[in-house]
Structure 1
Amino acid sequence: MASHFKIGDIIEGEVTGIQNYGVFVNLTEEEQGLVHISECKHGYMGDINDFVKIGDKVKVVVIDIDEYTKKFSLSMRALEKINVPSFPQRSKKRKKRNSPKIGFKTIEEKMPSWIEEALESIDKNEFNTKVEV
């Protein structure tokens, strides 16, 4: 028996069975598919019996067809619109800390005077002490 459905087809079917792992949907009189619990809706799925009832008409999309067993994997979640903004979220600007103006600038200013002091102390022989044996 050849199926006339293919992956990506959107079909309206009737819920024929509910298990704790998913929902069985009748596609035609001969063909039935399973909507796994993870494919029912986005987010956490509590009790599947609160989501659908037997006899409900549901819209599903075919996401996989097993070639050997001719089993249909269906999804209701793929048809749900996700609430995502059409533009990226602006990044939050961090407050700039008020830090004192220290760092390389002050070292740059003080370095010439330090060099000058060091050269003067060398000239005065402060560092050249004789060691007596």
Structure 2
Amino acid sequence: MSVEVGSKVQGKVTGITNFGAFVELPGGSTGLVHISEVAESYVKDVNDHLKIGDLIEVKVISEKDGKTALSIKKAIDRPEGQSSSYSQRPPRQGRVDSRSKDFRSKGSFKPKENFEDKMAKFLKASEENLSSLKRNTETKRGGRGGRRG
């Protein structure tokens, strides 16, 4: 008996790999829950969420060439207004959230240094690096002023 795509079924976890979990479905067929379909949040290790022998509810995503793709997170019923937790994450620390405010439009952004100052610093550092590089390589090659023996 083949399960229909889009249906929710109960299954038993029969194996866990680093890329997902194998689930035995009704009728004796087996499907794979990919690691990205295990939970709404980031899953580093499937073993943190599932154990062999667990009974879980899964949704059949696709079936192709005898391979059944399953999802645990799509099998969870959510109220209509609620979306996935990825869109509800707070912005990362120390970064400007481009969706909430545009720092360029307010006129409050002032660079600490202007372009000319940055270029002058870069040129000075670059010349220092080149001169120390020349000094070190000329003595090793026996260039001008090197000892001759």
Please report the TM-score for the alignment, with normalisation by the length of structure 1.
0.56
1:79 maps to 2:75: yes
Equivalent position of 1:15 in the other structure: 13
Equivalent position of 1:31 in the other structure: 29
Structure 2 CA distance for aligned equivalents of residues 29 and 81 of structure 1: 24
Q: Which of 65, 70, 85 is 2:66 aligned to?
A: 70
Distance 1:14 1:83, change over 3 A: same
- Which ranges of structure 2 fall in alignment gaps of 5 or more residues? 83-99, 101-149
Aligned-partner SS, 1:23: strand
- Which ranges of structure 1 fall in alignment gaps of 5 or more residues? 87-91, 93-133
Structure 1 CA distance for aligned equivalents of residues 77 and 47 of structure 2: 22
Distance 1:82 1:9, change over 3 A: closer
Query: Is the 2:2–2:27 Cα contact (8 Å) retained in structure 1?
Result: no
Query: Is the 1:15–1:55 Cα contact (8 Å) retained in structure 2?
Result: yes
Please report the TM-score for the alignment, with normalisation by the length of structure 2.
0.50
Larger radius of gyration: 1
Instruction: Tell me how far 1:48 sits from its aligned partner.
Output: 1.0
Letter in 2 for 1:70: G
RMSD (Å), alpha carbons: 2.8
Structure 2 CA distance for aligned equivalents of residues 37 and 85 of structure 1: 26
Letter in 2 for 1:78: K
Structure 1 CA distance for aligned equivalents of residues 78 and 34 of structure 2: 19
Number of residue pairs the alignment of both structures matches: 86
Structure 2 CA distance for aligned equivalents of residues 6 and 83 of structure 1: 24
Letter in 1 for 2:74: A
Identity %: 39
Equivalent position of 2:50 in the other structure: 52
Structure 2 CA distance for aligned equivalents of residues 48 and 21 of structure 1: 8
Letter in 1 for 2:4: K
- Runs of 4 or more above 4 Å deviation: 81-86
Structure 2 CA distance for aligned equivalents of residues 42 and 74 of structure 1: 14
Letter in 2 for 1:4: S
Pick 1 or 2: higher relative contact order, CA cutoff 8 A, min separation 6: 1
Query: Is the 2:2–2:29 Cα contact (8 Å) retained in structure 1?
Result: no
Query: Is the 1:41–1:80 Cα contact (8 Å) retained in structure 2?
Result: no
